[in-house]
Amino acid sequence: MPDSQLVDPFGRRITYLRLSVTDRCDFRCTYCMSEDMVFAPRAQILTLEELYAVADAFISLGVKRIRVTGGEPLVRKGLTGLLARLGARNELEDLAITTNGSQLPSLAASLHEAGVRRLNISLDSLKRERFAELTRRDRLDQVLEGIEAARSAGFKRIKLNSVVQKGRNDDEILDLVEFAIERGLDISFIEEMPLGSVSSHQRQITFCSSDEVKALIAERHALIDSAEQSGGPARYVRLPEHPQTRIGFISPHSHNFCATCNRVRLTVEGRLLLCLGHEHSIDLRALLRRHPTSDQPVIDAIHAALQRKPLRHEFSSGGEVQVLRFMNASGG
């Protein structure tokens, strides 16, 4: 496939689409959404056919990686059919999903069969009561079962995602690393992003930088910086004694990764987000429904939108809300 035709005003080539298939979720993680979240009406969300049409347009423009997100993508009915269509596209180098793991006990095998190559599974705590507090759902055992189901299904790579918060789960960093090592998994530690207004904690107090996390891990394990990339914003280190496990750090505050941004996001309502840290978006749903037999209007809109992609986000760890929409409405 030729290089992506999508280049923003700063010379960054867009090769990666994050495709949200739902804003709904069976958890209510405190940093992701409110307990009484109001979800988009069904008529406003893209159909599976419309989601494929947008993905198809991006693939035709040179996108090589698609990550399916949500909400919790695995609660979207009929998803495996969409995944099978995407998995059959030889132009794609990578088809991945980010999930909370709750549906994997029953779906892991069918996801692998559909062509999904990689899984990211959210896991912020190994303690039942704390897990229930952070997710507002008492389902740790179900997630752990899902991780084992994914391992058994044969995925090429499985990565755990952990959002670290001081005073809430930072005392489990080393336990999470050991959990990953014992199972041959990768793990990424993420700095919380200031999306949506939260009442469960004060972000300026709970903020934990990637450098702090890395220093703590280095007290127990030798770490070697790695230049390898997984297509997203994570910076990786390797553990010489455990070569099967990579540890990643996603650091929107302390190590801004915007200079190498290669991605855009499509919300389930059909809005193309050019940057996670900005409210500006382009409505592709209206074009899809106005021109159901032609992809050219969507392709033209994508090209035009890329010229408005900002240089960087302006996230701050000071605790203030910088983007009103929650993560579940942003596309994971």
pLDDT digits (tens, 9 = 90+) for 31-47: 887 777 788 899 999 99
Q: Tokens at residue 106, please?
A: 């029953």
CA distances from 92 to 24, 70, 86, 316 (A): 27, 20, 8, 34
16-20 sheet: strands from edge to edge = 224-226, 235-238, 246-250, 186-191, 157-164, 118-122, 94-99, 65-69, 16-20, 263-266, 271-273, 281-283
Per-residue pLDDT for 2 more than 70?
no
Q: Report residue 331's pLDDT band, with 50, 70 and 90 as the boundaries.
A: low
Find the mean pLDDT for residues 221-232: 89
Per-residue pLDDT for 197 more than 60?
no
Per-residue pLDDT for 330 more than 60?
no
Per mean pLDDT, which of 111-115, 188-192, 272-276 is the most reliable?
111-115
Question: 70 phi and psi, to 5 degrees?
Answer: -150, -145
pLDDT of residue 258: 84
Which residue segments constitute the domains of the chain, with CATH numbers given?
16-329 (3.20.20.70)
Q: How far apart are CA 305 and CA 283, in angstroms?
A: 10
CB 79 within 8 A of CB 99: no
Per-residue pLDDT for 218 more than 60?
yes
pLDDT above 90 as % of the chain: 74
pLDDT above 70 as % of the chain: 89
pLDDT of residue 322: 45
Q: Name the residue with higher pLDDT: 93 or 37.
A: 93
Q: Report residue 199's pLDDT band, with 50, 70 and 90 as the boundaries.
A: low
Beta-sheet strands, E only, within 53-169: 65-69, 94-99, 118-122, 157-164
pLDDT digits (tens, 9 = 90+) for 134-160: 999 999 999 999 999 999 999 989 999
Q: Report residue 198's pLDDT band, with 50, 70 and 90 as the boundaries.
A: low
Find the mean pLDDT for residues 291-307: 95
Find the mean pLDDT for residues 192-196: 67
pLDDT of residue 196: 55
pLDDT of residue 325: 46
Find the mean pLDDT for residues 273-302: 92
Find the mean pLDDT for residues 1-13: 83
C-beta neighbour count of 127 within 10 angstroms? 15
Of residues 88, 190, 104, 98, the one with CA closest to residue 152:
104
Find the mean pLDDT for residues 307-321: 67
pLDDT digits (tens, 9 = 90+) for 235-282: 999 999 999 999 999 988 777 778 889 999 999 999 999 987 777 789
pLDDT digits (tens, 9 = 90+) for 47-91: 999 999 999 999 999 999 999 999 999 999 999 999 999 999 999
**What secondary structure letter does DSSP report for 181?**
H
The secondary structure of the chain in percent helix, strand, coil, rounded to multiples of 5, reads 35, 20, 50
Supply the mean pLDDT for the chain.
90
Per-residue pLDDT for 229 more than 50?
yes
> What angle in degrees, to the nearest 10, is found between the helix axes of 140-153 and 128-135?
90
